[in-house]
């Protein structure tokens, strides 16, 4: 049964759910195979959509904290309802003469930890419904600011009415809100004209495949996203105990004879010693005992 991750280079115009439907149809996957994605991309956006198949869907939650990299084009002089090119224009202002140094100064103000108000046109839930449900009815819901981190902003191109840049950001960052706030700081307003997600850590740009290139041979193994975790191997008896909820003494495990305090509560990739297959994530608790965390 199909199991693993596909990094789809989502085309413009498709919602994340439509992209999943296209993948299921292209690969002729039966309905019994679960499919999910790790991080929504707006229809306007293109780029990396992490899609999990089968038991890999159990591990999508571990991608929630992943940093992401985007290539962004900001249109200056216009504010829209959706904060991107798909919305209606709310206001227009003259664009000042800008130099690359002006954008560099702007980027300095928006690099590092900051608080950001999510856009009304987003999938963020309020009383069980996505915010865009209220936005389409003309309702404005008070949204508390969220703490995000902008790690890097690199200017690619500056024109009279727009500029393009690369942004590396933390989880929960809305690029539309970032561009809107930049436009407010410049005094002319701005919205996202184009957006491409080039990377979701730890995956690489060159691992993406287009809709036309979709095939099961491009599936990435589940443990790909945990390559930075140390690994442990267990025999059949140990696996049976862990699966039943029992804990193993870490100090007696052959791979953990030099266990240090820093390893407590760290996650490990667990493999079957017989066939070297990834079987689970395990954790060492405060008592120094190994317990199962998430099974394939």
Spatial CA neighbour of 117 closest among 83, 75, 164: 83
245 is written with which tokens? 């909820």
50 is written with which tokens? 């992490």
What's the CA angle centered on 102, arms 99 and 107, to 5 degrees?
Answer: 130
The C-alpha atoms of residue 33 and residue 27 are separated, in whole angstroms, by 11
Reply yes or no on whether 102 is catalytic. no
Terminal CA-CA length for the chain? 13
Catalytic option among 42, 84, 181, 223: 42
Q: How far apart, in Å, are the Cα atoms of 210 and each of 26, 33, 206?
A: 11, 21, 11
- The residues assigned a catalytic role are 42
């Amino acid at each position: 049964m199909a199991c693993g991750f596909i990094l789809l280079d989502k085309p413009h115009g498709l919602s994340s759910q439509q992209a999943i439907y296209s993948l299921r149809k292209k690969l002729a996957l039966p309905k019994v195979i679960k499919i999910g994605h790790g991080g929504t991309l707006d229809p306007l956006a293109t780029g990396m959509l992490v899609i999990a198949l089968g038991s890999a869907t159990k591990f999508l939650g571990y991608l929630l904290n992943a940093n992401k990299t985007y290539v962004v084009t900001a249109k200056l002089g216009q504010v829209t309802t959706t904060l991107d090119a798909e919305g209606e224009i709310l206001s227009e202002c003259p664009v000042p003469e800008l130099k690359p140094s002006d954008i560099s100064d702007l980027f300095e103000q928006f690099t590092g930890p900051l608080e950001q108000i999510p856009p009304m046109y987003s999938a963020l839930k309020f009383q069980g419904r996505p915010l865009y449900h209220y936005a389409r009815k003309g309702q404005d819901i008070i949204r508390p600011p969220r703490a995000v981190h902008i790690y890097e902003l690199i200017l690619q191109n500056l024109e009279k009415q727009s500029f393009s840049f690369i942004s590396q950001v933390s989880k929960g960052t809305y690029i539309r809100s970032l561009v809107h706030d930049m436009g407010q700081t410049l005094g002319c307003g701005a919205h996202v004209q184009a957006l491409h997600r080039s990377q979701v850590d730890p995956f690489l740009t060159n691992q993406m495949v287009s809709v036309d290139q979709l095939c099961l041979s491009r599936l990435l193994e589940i443990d790909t996203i945990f390559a930075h975790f140390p690994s442990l191997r267990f025999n059949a008896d140990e696996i049976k105990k862990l699966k039943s909820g029992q804990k193993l003494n870490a100090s007696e495990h052959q791979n953990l004879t030099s266990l240090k305090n820093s390893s407590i509560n760290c996650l490990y990739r667990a493999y079957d010693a017989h066939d070297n297959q990834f079987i689970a994530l395990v954790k060492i608790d405060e008592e120094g005992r190994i317990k199962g965390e998430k099974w394939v």
